[in-house]
Structure 1
Amino acid sequence: MNAITVSPPMLFAGVGILLGLLIVWRAGARKVRAATEAARTGARAVSLVGRVLVLGGLITGVQWVVITYAADNTSLLLSVLGLPALFTAATLVRTLTVVADGPRRRGGKR
């Protein structure tokens, strides 16, 4: 049997090709990971919108039933209309409030 002989330039070319394949493979894996994360983010947004619409429809349906069939009961009307309004207001205030921390000075200088 003959021994396999590899010259140094062939060895360096082989290592270079392997390194190039590794770089291409890792770049492809990064792109797949980024695409997967983008799809997940889009799905989260769609899922959130769906949940908001379903819950909004449920609250509206309950309010409609109470207004239609129990319009003479003032405390029930106030609770059915006021409670969701309070939750909505609290959520909007928390979402729209901007909290900014200014730069803090060290050493007590004013």
Structure 2
Amino acid sequence: MTLSLTPTQIMAGVGVLLVLVLAWRAGSRRAKAAAEAARTGARLVSLVGRVLFTAALIVVVQWIVITYSGGSWLTLATLGLPALFAAHTLTRALTVTTSEPRRRGGGRR
């Protein structure tokens, strides 16, 4: 038994294979995009959990020191140190920095 195909049948077969490959690649791209979106959401939830835990820990330590301490220096340090860290973090996050492109020729002109 001999298999004989016309050029039209061969082109149709190649076209079908091309469509299948393109559909498979598009599906894998969609799957990768969905997985990346899930990872991003999980990272955000994890970050929020760590931030809330750290904030609660700071509040508990401050409450204990303020409640059971009579010294003003210890109270000042307990309230001031976390405030310094928060101020540093917010200042870095809200500061806009730009980088000027360098001119060719060593900047002389």
Deviation by residue 1:54-73 (Cα, 9 ceiling, x = unmatched): 11011001101111111x12
Q: Which runs of 5+ in 2 are unaligned?
A: none
- How large is the Cα RMSD of the aligned pairs? 1.4
Shift of residue 103 of structure 1?
4.6
Runs of 4+ in 1 over 6 A off after TM superposition: none
Alignment of 1:1-110 (within 5 A): 2-70=1-69, 72-107=70-105, 108-109=108-109
> Partner letter of residue 84 of structure 2?
L
Give aligned-pair identity as a percent.
Answer: 57
Shift of residue 105 of structure 1?
3.9
> Partner letter of residue 12 of structure 1?
M
TM-score, normalization: structure 1?
0.87
> Partner letter of residue 78 of structure 2?
V
Deviation by residue 1:43-89 (Cα, 9 ceiling, x = unmatched): 2112111111111011001101111111x122221221111111111
Distance 1:5 1:58 in 2: 78
TM-score, normalization: structure 2?
0.88
Distance 2:41 2:80 in 1: 33
> Partner letter of residue 8 of structure 2?
P
Residue 2 of structure 2: SS of its match in structure 1? coil
Q: Which moved more, 1:75-84 or 1:15-24?
A: 75-84
The count of residues paired between Structure 1 and Structure 2 equals 107
Distance 2:71 2:5 in 1: 94
Shift of residue 94 of structure 1?
0.8
